[in-house]
Amino acid sequence: MPGNFRPFAYALAAALIAGCSTLKVGRDFDYNAFASRVELGTTTAAQVMDWVGAPAGKGVEVGTDRTRLDVWNYYYGTGKIPSGSNTSFKLLQVKLNQEGKVAAYVWTGDMAGAPVEDKSSGK
């Protein structure tokens, strides 16, 4: 099992054993702090760390054109086990080019109040 997911598996197993308890996975982060400031091709890895902290995991994405991006993963989830009630999960993947600048990002979670301005064309 990859090292990044081992803590998640342990937490899930412990919650299942505990019965109807609340499960928390990952570390909470502020997506709005990231999305309101990020500028593709300009924002640095150091700025991302400043805004949302150290990533929970890191990986690599290799495109069809062999372009390599470093991927930083941030995730946080809560919910009742085993009922699954009151669950929420959010995931932010920040993709950094070889110069250490944000090339792209993927957000999955509650979009209520989240800035969704299209910055893909650059400013």
Phi and psi, residue 28, nearest 5°: -65, 150
Region 47-66: mean pLDDT is 95
Instruction: Select the highest-mean-pLDDT range: 6-10, 28-32, 45-49, 114-118.
Output: 45-49
pLDDT value of residue 41: 97
Please, which residues have CB within 8 angstroms of residue 60's CB and are 6 or more apart in sequence? 68, 69, 70, 71
* Of 1-5, 12-16, 44-48, minimum mean pLDDT range: 1-5
Does the pLDDT at position 18 exceed 80?
no
Q: What predicted TM-score, i.e. pTM, was given to this entire model?
A: 0.71
